[in-house]
A and B are shown apart, each in its own frame.
Chain A
């Protein structure tokens, strides 16, 4: 069976993603582009005698790349030479979309246009002369409505048709002068690169050389005479009074506009669109920000208050029945104790950590996708840019940062909404300063012992301190490391659109899968390392004798100036790199206050399963309760962790109120947990950012705790 390679391209916000999801249905394969973590979607579909291989390329406004994603699109189109290009076009915005189409035509590859959102164009009263459009451009143009799966069969037929006919788009004339120059450039390239076939040197390639895209030429491995090229450029500037880039953009837009004038019949009087009406309210001078804050409160509440009971459910199921079954099974097999412990705590515990992130990452990615595909994300950026820009990120960064208060891990994934690599990394770097839900139990324990009367004030102080530190670090980074290099903010405000359920499902699932595959194995590995540190040399009599204890004792003097120089605090902080709430449970363990509850080991799988099901129902009820009962956010409501009740009185022997405050500040700011680190590695491909974060955040934490402790001592 013959394969036809179809590259799917299009401007952002044209419904390209919906179209590819609708075409692929269950056949969608997801991976990453080599070397980067931009999503790559593919689908193999049989159609008649052919297999159509759709490759979804990132949305692009132009083949002169401005972002990493546009670079991928350019590289693929120029280097991989697909058999057919399928360009998704927003029928309500023909002119700018055709500008991109004109560039695609230069590649001289059979081209099919999907005139998407055709129903909306009709509603606006637009009449598009399809056959004239096809005739003028030498392409096939198929009207589609991706959200209702209309036009997809015609699209496939058109793709096969242009492939069989080898129908290359018309070569539009760029003016005698430029055409002559292009011929000379072609001749030069052929002379310098005798091994290259003429057919490889499309108009697009020649124009790229004139545009000065040397990076692409390096990748294409083509030799050229820069001096001669410069001569042509000077000629253009002299004769036309414009530099080549302006001249070319003008020329291409001129062609696009000319075509639109002939094929599009627009009504004289423009109706006020729904989008304009909504924006009148959402971007209103006085109401815009309050509405935004309300939306963000809702986002946060829905995400965490619904997801958290299920996190508990997963946790309880794995640490309860699943552990029990495994333990019984291991005993039955007569496994040695150390192996059982390794398997239960090290492996199953690690799997538990991975799985327990499902509800929260899934929920958040669902909501973030909803915000993005509905069009509100661009508005959020518009509203918040003024604030966020002052510390080196842009408006869209607000959302990952906000989600950070719930959990830093999904925030890392939420940074995908940022197109510019630099802003994305800086946002990721600042997210851990947002005090996540896992740090709350630590505060609660210490506050209830040392500051029972001022609990609200202290909590507020901690959260606020995190934000202030993030702003300070952001400003410093912005000023020092990336001085002046604020990336431009030229952003389309797309019309509001209803996303389809399939899109939401597909995108949420893709991110979850990515987390499991890319982060899962790392989380398992590190959990094992921690198990080793805690349990070796095998069965430490006292916690001090484990590697963790010894290491804690070794580094504890460092914390003396901060007010907590004992080995137990140091060891707890080390264990806290697993997840910050572990600080408390480790402390409880070390101070020997935990009484190991002997679990019954009778195996009754039926009873257990019933219990799991009942627990699931209970958690669902809890989630609904959280959502409806209070205006506050349940996730951020302090609750005393059950298992550490007996720890409370003992804390007074080891801490003073001042050193407790210093300790809490340290926990707030230090070493982001390793799941966060793995998420950043999964997203940007290296551990560098995490290592920098460990170093810098710990340093900042140290500085602030030192300041607080020493100033406090001075005052008292």
Chain B
């Protein structure tokens, strides 16, 4: 499953980042590494971007970018 498909409140574990280059690197440097557990907090009022909690802080990213994060849903 992709992170972009999750609803607010969902908790998931990152399986892989399916992207390349500096974008992938930055995602990883912000903490989006395989094995990391994240929580989807909110969707913006207009439907995009989304807010997630990762490594104890809040990160916002667009759905098109969240699509690059492959996750496995825990809850």
B contacts with A, residue count (CB < 8 A): 30
Determine chain A's interface SS by DSSP, over half rule: helix
Query: In the complex, are the beta carbons of B59 and A490 less than 8 A apart?
Result: yes
B61: which A residues are within 8 A, CB to CB? 488-491
| Chain B 49-65 interface mask (CB, 8 Å, partner A; 1/0) | 10100011111111001
1-28 of chain B: CB within 8 A of chain A: 17, 22-28
Query: In the complex, are the beta carbons of B58 and A493 less than 8 A apart?
Result: yes
Query: In the complex, are the beta carbons of B59 and A61 less than 8 A apart?
Result: no
Query: In the complex, are the beta carbons of B33 and A250 less than 8 A apart?
Result: yes
B22: which A residues are within 8 A, CB to CB? 64, 66
| Chain A 372-412 interface mask (CB, 8 Å, partner B; 1/0) | 00000010011101110100000000000000000000000
Give CA–CA (A494, B57) in the complex, Å.
8
Query: In the complex, are the beta carbons of B29 and A62 less than 8 A apart?
Result: yes
Q: How far is the CB of B32 from chain A (nearest CB, A)?
A: 9
Choose among B42, B48, B56, B57 the residue that contacts A283 (Cβ–Cβ < 8 A): B42
Query: In the complex, are the beta carbons of B25 and A488 less than 8 A apart?
Result: no
Query: In the complex, are the beta carbons of B26 and A488 less than 8 A apart?
Result: yes
Give CA–CA (A220, B44) in the complex, Å.
44
Query: In the complex, are the beta carbons of A386 and B58 less than 8 A apart?
Result: no
B47: which A residues are within 8 A, CB to CB? 386
Q: How far is the CB of B12 from chain A (nearest CB, A)?
A: 18
Given A64-B25, A491-B61, A493-B58: A289 and B45 interface contact (C-beta under 8 Å)? yes
**Among the listed stretches A91-99, A200-208, A506-514, which one makes contact with chain B, having 4 or more residues with CB under 8 Å of it?**
A91-99
Query: In the complex, are the beta carbons of B65 and A492 less than 8 A apart?
Result: no
Q: How far is the CB of A317 from chain B (nearest CB, A)?
A: 46
Query: In the complex, are the beta carbons of B28 and A245 less than 8 A apart?
Result: yes
**A656 beta carbon closer than 8 Å to chain B:** no
**A231 beta carbon closer than 8 Å to chain B:** no
Query: In the complex, are the beta carbons of A491 and B44 less than 8 A apart?
Result: no
Determine chain B's interface SS by DSSP, over half rule: mixed
Query: In the complex, are the beta carbons of A493 and B51 less than 8 A apart?
Result: yes
B63 nearest in chain A by CB position: A386
Given A93-B57, A96-B57, A382-B44: A490 and B31 interface contact (C-beta under 8 Å)? no
Query: In the complex, are the beta carbons of A378 and B33 less than 8 A apart?
Result: no
Query: In the complex, are the beta carbons of B57 and A489 less than 8 A apart?
Result: no
**B74 beta carbon closer than 8 Å to chain A:** no
Q: How far is the CB of B38 from chain A (nearest CB, A)?
A: 13
**A288 beta carbon closer than 8 Å to chain B:** yes
**A253 beta carbon closer than 8 Å to chain B:** yes
Query: In the complex, are the beta carbons of B26 and A490 less than 8 A apart?
Result: yes
A385 nearest in chain B by CB position: B49
Query: In the complex, are the beta carbons of A386 and B29 less than 8 A apart?
Result: no
Query: In the complex, are the beta carbons of B30 and A283 less than 8 A apart?
Result: no
B55: which A residues are within 8 A, CB to CB? 93, 95-96
A280 nearest in chain B by CB position: B42
**A246 beta carbon closer than 8 Å to chain B:** yes
| Chain A 190-213 interface mask (CB, 8 Å, partner B; 1/0) | 000000000000000000000000
Q: How far is the CB of A435 from chain B (nearest CB, A)?
A: 25
Give CA–CA (A385, B62) in the complex, Å.
9
A631: which B residues are within 8 A, CB to CB? none
Given A64-B25, A284-B45, A489-B65: A382 and B60 interface contact (C-beta under 8 Å)? yes
Given A283-B44, A382-B44: A493 and B25 interface contact (C-beta under 8 Å)? no
B32 nearest in chain A by CB position: A490
Query: In the complex, are the beta carbons of A387 and B59 less than 8 A apart?
Result: no
A387: which B residues are within 8 A, CB to CB? 46
A253: which B residues are within 8 A, CB to CB? 31, 33
With most chain B CB atoms within 10 A of its CB, the pick from A95, A284, A490 is A490
Given A62-B29, A66-B22, A245-B25: A490 and B65 interface contact (C-beta under 8 Å)? yes
Query: In the complex, are the beta carbons of A385 and B26 less than 8 A apart?
Result: no
Choose among A275, A386, A488 the residue that contacts B44 (Cβ–Cβ < 8 A): A386
Query: In the complex, are the beta carbons of B31 and A383 less than 8 A apart?
Result: no
Q: How far is the CB of A120 from chain B (nearest CB, A)?
A: 13
Query: In the complex, are the beta carbons of B31 and A95 less than 8 A apart?
Result: yes
Query: In the complex, are the beta carbons of A490 and B57 less than 8 A apart?
Result: no
54-73 of chain A: CB within 8 A of chain B: 61-62, 64, 66
Query: In the complex, are the beta carbons of B28 and A386 less than 8 A apart?
Result: no
275-334 of chain A: CB within 8 A of chain B: 275, 279, 283-286, 288-289
Give CA–CA (A249, B60) in the complex, Å.
20
Choose among B27, B44, B45 the residue that contacts A490 (Cβ–Cβ < 8 A): B27
Q: How far is the CB of B44 from chain A (nearest CB, A)?
A: 6
A283: which B residues are within 8 A, CB to CB? 42, 44-45, 51
A492: which B residues are within 8 A, CB to CB? 30, 57-60
Give CA–CA (A244, B29) in the complex, Å.
13
Give CA–CA (A167, B55) in the complex, Å.
30
Choose among A62, A246, A383, A491 the residue that contacts B59 (Cβ–Cβ < 8 A): A491
Given A96-B55, A245-B24, A383-B44: A489 and B49 interface contact (C-beta under 8 Å)? yes
Choose among A61, A66, A385, A491 the residue that contacts B48 (Cβ–Cβ < 8 A): A385
Choose among A61, A279, A285, A385 the residue that contacts B30 (Cβ–Cβ < 8 A): A61
Give CA–CA (A246, B25) in the complex, Å.
7
Q: 8 other contacts beyond A285-B45, A387-B46, with CB at 8 A cut-off?
A: A61-B26, A61-B29, A93-B57, A96-B57, A246-B33, A488-B62, A490-B60, A490-B65
B residues contacting A by CB (< 8 A) are: 17, 22-31, 33, 42-49, 51, 55-62, 65
A-B contact pairs, 21 of them (CB 8 A): A66-B26, A95-B55, A96-B30, A245-B25, A245-B28, A246-B28, A246-B33, A253-B33, A279-B42, A283-B44, A283-B51, A288-B45, A289-B45, A383-B46, A386-B46, A386-B48, A488-B61, A488-B62, A490-B30, A490-B60, A492-B30
Closest 8 CB pairs of A and B: A386-B46, A493-B58, A249-B28, A288-B45, A62-B29, A386-B48, A489-B62, A95-B55
